[in-house]
């Protein structure tokens, strides 16, 4: 008899961003004259940098010429890109990562969601709370999360590590022993980061307990503070316990082009089996390589011009983050993040839930953000704004928010 994967039926409700989209669409329909500023979804607004566009054009021309046409890409990635990644993202930071440990993909979301396939069905996962939803949902689909309790918003087999203002958004070592530990640094949604010393605690814990850290560094390009590591491999011992995910989406505006990579060190084993071989097998079976033209675009991100241009884009977003932080502080809000990340995490006003604050902002300031509770139970009472808007919209959103939230003050 034909059956379905019933784990999919366990997934509660619709996805956070579709709920937001529905509310915004309903509001816009009722008030077509109002202009809404969106600081909700984490998509970029700046176009692809010129040096990267040039590389794309060149690669497109190669594809139209019989002498330089390329068919299927190598499924683990072209050497030119893997070498550029290793040179710029690892050797330059003193990390021992080799080109054949880089698995090029179509983005970090697929990799973060798919990595769980190479682990056993009974593995216990630990996640920060609040959390990027993909880590939990992909484990629900695989039947690893247990049952969902709508009252608590938690899955019975998932180990939650609350990250709140009370613990400075630094997850504490869990009481129950996890097999897989998802860490996202700099963090989405809280915008906070871990220092080298704080991350070393996790690396030591994972090595001592035979656990694997699944380290999502999608926002690495936004790190500004010296003591925040750019890669988990800056920490001694990480090669035997950690997989790292990276993305070109927020670093270089590739949300529409699609490119990312995963690092699986050869030293990383699980019960005597090298995870490198398993991930290579999985990747080779289910993925046919990122497009040649996109990999050439990725290579151009590391050219001298490309680097300068994407760094300038990131700096623009971080200036938005500064404007948001300043605006919210002037409105007497309690704010976090925004220093090593394009996300600003604020406490909702006394007595307002995350969704109540969402409605309040939408209706009174016509500004859209993301309710913190959508990222997990410990996100209740918080709200996320992103710095990915245009400078103009960001400044206007802050003006509106200061008016409705606090005493209007001068705004620079």
Q: Is 91 annotated as a binding residue?
A: no
Contact at 8 Å (CB) between 123 and 98? no
Strand 335-337 versus strand 343-347 pairing type? antiparallel
Q: Is 107 in the site for ligand PLP (CB under 6 A)?
A: yes
Nearest distance from residue 106's CB to ligand PLP, in Å?
7
Nearer to ligand PLP, 107 or 381 (CB): 107
Nearer to ligand PLP, 306 or 342 (CB): 342
Selected binder of ligand PLP within 38, 82, 109, 144 (CB under 6 A)? 109
Q: DSSP states of 219-262 as a string? A: TGGG---TTS-SSGGGSTTGGGTEEEEEESHHHHSTTTT--EEE
Q: Is 16 in the site for ligand PLP (CB under 6 A)?
A: no
d(CA 144, CA 123): 7
Nearer to ligand PLP, 249 or 366 (CB): 249
Query: 82: part of which helix (H) or strand (E)?
Result: helix 79-85
Neighbours of 175 (CB within 10 A): 6
Residues 203-232 that bind ligand PLP (CB under 6 A): 216, 218
Selected binder of ligand PLP within 249, 313, 354, 370 (CB under 6 A)? 249
Q: Is 88 in the site for ligand PLP (CB under 6 A)?
A: no
Q: Is 116 in the site for ligand PLP (CB under 6 A)?
A: no
Nearest C-alpha neighbor of 315 from the set 255, 254, 256, 251 = 251
Contact at 8 Å (CB) between 387 and 338? yes
Please name every residue paired with 125 in a beta bridge, in sequence order, or none if there are none: 158, 180
Q: Is 184 in the site for ligand PLP (CB under 6 A)?
A: yes
Q: Is 89 in the site for ligand PLP (CB under 6 A)?
A: no
Nearer to ligand PLP, 249 or 348 (CB): 249
In the numeric block, which tokens belong to residue 400? 């509106």
Q: Is 42 annotated as a binding residue?
A: yes
Q: Is 343 annotated as a binding residue?
A: no
Query: Which residues fall within 8 angstroms of residue 46, CB to CB, at 6 or more apart?
Result: 253, 313, 316, 317
The residue at minimum Cβ distance from ligand PLP is: 107
Contact at 8 Å (CB) between 244 and 233? yes
3-class secondary-structure state, position 127: strand
Nearest distance from residue 382's CB to ligand PLP, in Å?
16
Q: Is 188 in the site for ligand PLP (CB under 6 A)?
A: yes
Stretch that binds ligand PLP, among 15-23, 106-114, 272-280, 310-318 (CB under 6 A): 106-114
Query: Which residues fall within 8 angstroms of residue 306, CB to CB, at 6 or more apart?
Result: 49, 51, 52, 55, 252, 300
Site of interaction with ligand PLP (CB under 6 A): 42, 107-109, 112, 132, 184, 188, 216, 218, 247, 249, 255, 260
Residues in the annotated binding site for substrate: 15, 42, 109, 132, 188, 288, 384
Residues in the annotated binding site: 15, 42, 72, 108-109, 132, 188, 219, 247-249, 258, 288, 384
Residues in the annotated binding site for pyridoxal 5'-phosphate: 72, 108-109, 132, 188, 219, 247-249, 258, 288
């Amino acid at each position: 008899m034909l059956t379905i994967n019933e784990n999919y039926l366990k997934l509660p409700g619709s996805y956070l961003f579709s709920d937001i989209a529905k509310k915004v669409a309903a509001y816009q329909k009722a008030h077509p004259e109002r202009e809404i500023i969106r600081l909700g979804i984490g998509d970029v607004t700046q176009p692809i940098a010129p040096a990267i566009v040039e590389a794309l054009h060149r690669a497109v021309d190669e594809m139209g010429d019989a002498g330089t046409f390329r068919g299927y890409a190598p499924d683990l990635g072209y050497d030119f890109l893997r070498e550029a990644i290793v040179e710029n993202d690892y050797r330059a930071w003193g990390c021992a990562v080799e080109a054949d440990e880089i698995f090029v993909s179509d983005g970090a979301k697929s990799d973060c969601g798919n990595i769980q396939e190479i682990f056993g069905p009974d593995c216990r996962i630990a996640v920060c709370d609040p959390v990027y939803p993909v880590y939990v949902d992909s484990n629900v689909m695989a039947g690893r999360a247990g049952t969902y309790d709508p009252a608590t918003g938690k899955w019975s087999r998932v180990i939650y590590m609350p990250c709140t203002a009370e613990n400075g958004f630094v997850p504490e070592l869990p009481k129950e022993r996890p097999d897989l530990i998802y860490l996202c640094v700099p963090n989405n949604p809280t915008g906070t980061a871990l220092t080298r010393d704080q991350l070393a605690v996790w690396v030591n814990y994972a090595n001592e307990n035979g656990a694997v850290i699944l380290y999502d560094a999608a926002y690495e390009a936004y790190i500004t503070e010296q003591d925040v590591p750019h890669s988990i491999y800056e920490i001694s011992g990480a090669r035997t316990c950690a997989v790292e995910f990276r993305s070109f989406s927020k670093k270089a505006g590739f949300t529409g082009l699609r490119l990312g990579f995963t690092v699986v060190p050869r030293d990383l084993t699980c019960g005597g089996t090298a995870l490198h071989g398993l991930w290579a097998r999985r990747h080779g079976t289910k993925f046919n390589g990122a497009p040649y033209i996109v990999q050439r675009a990725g290579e151009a991100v590391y050219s001298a011009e490309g680097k300068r241009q994407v760094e300038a884009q990131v700096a623009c977003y971080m200036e938005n983050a500064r404007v948001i932080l300043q605006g919210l502080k002037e409105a007497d809000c309690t704010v976090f993040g925004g220093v090593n990340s394009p996300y600003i995490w604020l406490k909702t006003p006394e007595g307002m839930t995350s969704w109540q604050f969402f409605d309040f902002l939408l209706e009174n300031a016509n500004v859209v953000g993301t309710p913190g509770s959508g990222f997990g139970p410990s996100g209740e009472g918080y709200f996320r704004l992103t710095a990915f808007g245009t400078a103009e919209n960001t400044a206007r959103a802050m003006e509106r928010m200061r008016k409705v939230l606090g005493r209007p003050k001068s705004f620079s």
